[in-house]
């Protein structure tokens, strides 16, 4: 997609940044934003220069949820054009929040959410397949769907219990209440809470640690392995996948470089590329039915 109107996308020193960019509407989610987020993820997966993605919001909010500008008919899709670009699942047009969350899930680079201000509704659920969520002290979260007469979307009934456990997930979903960063930390939704002014610096420091020290192929495969094993029926599935991956990567140039750089006490220069090397070791995840 040429040009973005509802997000800002940039790449600097191996770190891609997506800024949700509808500040006047607290970055509320729209179909256009969905399209642009998917396009940005496609660009990232095709670009070996990108090693990590940081996602944040413009201004005082991360994302205040779906844009409710259509009032009571906001969630009524009768007579509207379906999101034909993304097809159907089980005969029903796909929920756009799920389109975005599953595209984030399928990325082959790690994703860091830098949550500033309100992250409510889809603004909260879209972060669940991101790998690390860092919150500013003023961040607020809410799985508010029951208070709007709908249900959690964006595949969050799969992601949220796996991130925070079923009891905490049900407490937040059944009450629909908005809660602060400290409760999000205690519940395991975020990994750390930092002063608002330190939020982006913290996220970028984490991203730089990945860029400067790790193999892009190793990180891509690790991300797919970790997420896909959440629904494995036995640790033997993980053991089988680990065994194959260690065997294949152990014979290749990144493993040799990683060990040599460590022994020589210098930064590594990994030669393999995630877009072309060992892309078949881990089955596509999440696999589309």
> Are 252 and 277 in contact, with CB atoms under 8 Å apart?
yes
Query: What average pLDDT does the structure give for the chain?
Result: 94
Query: Could you read off the pLDDT of 195-231 as tens digits, one per residue?
Result: 999 999 999 999 999 999 999 999 999 999 999 999 9
Residue with tokens 């944040």: 56
What Å distances lie between residue 75 and 78, 95, 168, CA to CA? 9, 10, 26
pLDDT score, position 69: 60
Task: Please report the pLDDT score of residue 71 as a whole number.
Answer: 56
Determine the Cα–Cα distance for residues 128 and 189; give it in Å rounded to an integer: 8
Q: Are 48 and 275 within 8 A, CB to CB? A: yes
List, for residues 88-100, the tens digit of each pLDDT value. 888 888 999 999 9
Give the mean pLDDT of 156-161: 98
Peptide bond into 206 cis (omega under 30): no
CB count within 10 Å of CB 109 equals 23
pLDDT score of 70: 59
Please state, in angstroms and rounded to a whole number, the distance separating the CA atoms of residues 219 and 125: 24
181 pLDDT exceeds 60? Answer: yes
Task: Tell me how far apart the alpha carbons of residues 52 and 111 are, in angstroms, rounded to a whole number.
Answer: 6
Percentage helix, strand, coil for the chain under 3-state DSSP, each rounded to 5? 45, 15, 40
Task: Quote the tokens at residue 66.
Answer: 């779906």
What are 29-70's pLDDT values in tens digits?
A: 999 999 999 999 999 999 999 999 999 999 999 999 988 665
In angstroms, the CA 156 to CA 255 distance is 36
Categorize the per-residue pLDDT at 79 as very low, low, confident or very high, splitting at 50, 70 and 90.
very low
């Amino acid at each position: 997609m040429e040009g973005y109107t509802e997000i800002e996308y940039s790449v600097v020193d191996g770190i891609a940044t997506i800024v949700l960019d509808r500040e006047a509407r607290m970055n509320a989610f729209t179909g256009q934003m969905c399209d642009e987020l998917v396009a940005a993820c496609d660009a990232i997966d095709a670009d070996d220069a990108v090693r990590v993605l940081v996602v944040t919001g413009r201004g005082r909010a991360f994302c205040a949820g779906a844009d409710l500008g259509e009032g009571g008919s906001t969630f009524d899709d009768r007579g509207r054009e379906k999101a034909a670009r993304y097809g159907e699942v089980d005969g029903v047009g796909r929920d756009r929040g799920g389109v975005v969350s599953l595209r984030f899930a399928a990325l082959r680079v790690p994703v860091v959410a830098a949550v500033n201000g309100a992250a409510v509704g889809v603004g909260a659920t879209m972060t669940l397949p991101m790998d690390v969520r860092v919150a500013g002290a003023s961040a607020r979260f809410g799985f508010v769907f029951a208070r709007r007469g709908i249900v959690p979307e964006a595949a969050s009934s799969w992601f949220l219990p796996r991130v925070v456990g079923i009891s905490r997930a049900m407490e937040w979903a059944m009450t629909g209440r908005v809660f602060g960063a400290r409760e999000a930390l205690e519940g395991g939704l975020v990994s750390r809470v930092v002063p608002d002014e330190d939020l982006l610096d913290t996220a970028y420091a984490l991203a730089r640690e990945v860029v400067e020290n790790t193999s892009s192929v190793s990180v891509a495969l690790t991300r797919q392995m970790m997420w896909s094993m959440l629904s494995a029926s036995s640790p033997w599935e993980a053991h089988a996948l680990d065994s194959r991956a260690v065997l294949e990567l152990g014979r290749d140039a990144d493993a040799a470089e990683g060990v040599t750089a460590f022994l020589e006490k210098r930064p590594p220069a990994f030669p393999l590329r995630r877009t072309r090397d060992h892309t078949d070791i881990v089955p596509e995840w999440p696999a589309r039915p």
